[in-house]
Amino acid sequence: MFLDALQSYYAPVVALVFFAAMVITDKLFSKRIKRLFLWEIGLIFLVIVDTWADYCFSGISTLEGSRLRTLTSFINFAISPCLPMILVFLYETEDSKRFSRWFYVPMLINAFMSLLSIWLGLIFNVSAENVYTRGPLFVIPFVASGFYLLSLVFCSAKQRGKPNRKSETGFLLIFLFVIGLAIVTEIVFNVHFMVWSVAEAFVILYYLFLTTQKILYDPLTGTYNRIAYEKQLEKINWQSECTIAMIDLDNLKNINDQFGHSSGDAAICSVASSILNTKCKHMWLYRYGGDEFVLLSNRLNADEMKKILKISQSQCEEIQGIRPCFSYGVAEYRMGDDLHNTILSADIDMYRHKKNLRDV
């Protein structure tokens, strides 16, 4: 039994060690986010060791084996909901309210019922002969875990303005289905070591998903950043046609000088939001520099893009009584054209627009 468990969990444990090292040396995330992932890694390691020990103890048909297996069963059921609960804390930011006390109720009820099960057999029961059976309230840990998994999906879905929010929510929904399938498979077919291996794989993939967002998205505006823009240009060049708009804020220096850089940041966000809120499909906004943006579309022509930008100008929210405004230049790239010349044409058009506004 020991060797069977070792064979099943050797790769997950090694992967967990490397994952922990990756989180510790990470330079992208805050200390708080890294700490939450390290807690998650620690709990996954604990439940892996616990299920490993439980499987080994199941072959000891003595009272001592029964007691040891009762302990491992308690730890497994009591801790299970804590793993998705910790991931929910990733969405608890300074701008959002802390979770209410009711948020912890499912976890506490589950832990209390798991503790009572040692004597009353509510969730699980291990006989003196070390025979394990499910109790009448066996579903409680799964209900509690499901509550926190659904909370995780909900917190992801309600992030307004966050880039790639739909992809993140979709990723979590897929995991919800996969982990549910793993649980059903373990229960129905009496398969071992599946759930926590799947959970570990998800946590690692989720971390990599969030890392990708950190790399490709601008944290201030929620738009794509310059790295993503340059990657997109590589795809466009010689492969597809598109319309390009170069965008530059006009009065940012005045806002910074009069009201400070925090108001300047708010002006940059206002312009980005006004463009994103047009909700036009097949259009991507990139923050190219401090107050410079690039808008790309593979469906809109130059006139359609100019129309959208004019609407966006009128929708910018005022900052300290001043409505941010921006200049833009638009150019169309066609197969066989020089992409960099097209970008230069859009840039020249933008500066012409800026000069005309200044003259007015």
Share of the chain above pLDDT 70, in %: 96
What DSSP string runs through 84-125?
A: HHHHHGGG--SSSPPPPGGGGHHHHHHHHHHHHHHHH-SSEE
> What's the total number of domains in the chain?
2
- Assess if residue 221 is contained within a domain: no
Range of the domain at 232: 226-359
- Assess if residue 173 is contained within a domain: yes
Give 167's pLDDT tier (boundaries 50, 70, 90): confident
User: Do 22 and 56 have their domain in common?
Assistant: yes
> Using an 8 Å Cβ cutoff, are 272 and 287 in contact?
yes
Please give the Cα distance from 294 to 189 (Å, whole number): 54
* Residue whose C-alpha is closest to residue 22's, from 211, 190, 148, 301: 211
Instruction: Supply φ then ψ for residue 99, to 5 degrees.
Output: -65, 145
Q: For the domain that residue 147 is a member of, what is the CATH number?
A: 1.20.1070
Q: For the domain that residue 345 is a member of, what is the CATH number?
A: 3.30.70.270
Q: Which residues contact 88 (CB under 8 A, 6 or more apart)?
A: 99, 148, 151, 152, 155
Please give the Cα distance from 80 to 188 (Å, whole number): 19
**290-344 pLDDT per residue, tens:** 999 999 998 999 999 999 999 999 999 888 888 899 999 999 999 888 899 999 9
User: Do 234 and 121 have their domain in common?
Assistant: no
What is the model's pTM? Answer: 0.84
- Assess if residue 122 is contained within a domain: yes
**198-217 pLDDT per residue, tens:** 999 999 999 999 999 889 99
User: Do 155 and 23 have their domain in common?
Assistant: yes
Q: What is the DSSP letter of 245?
A: E
- Assess if residue 347 is contained within a domain: yes
Q: Which residues contact 111 (CB under 8 A, 6 or more apart)?
A: 78
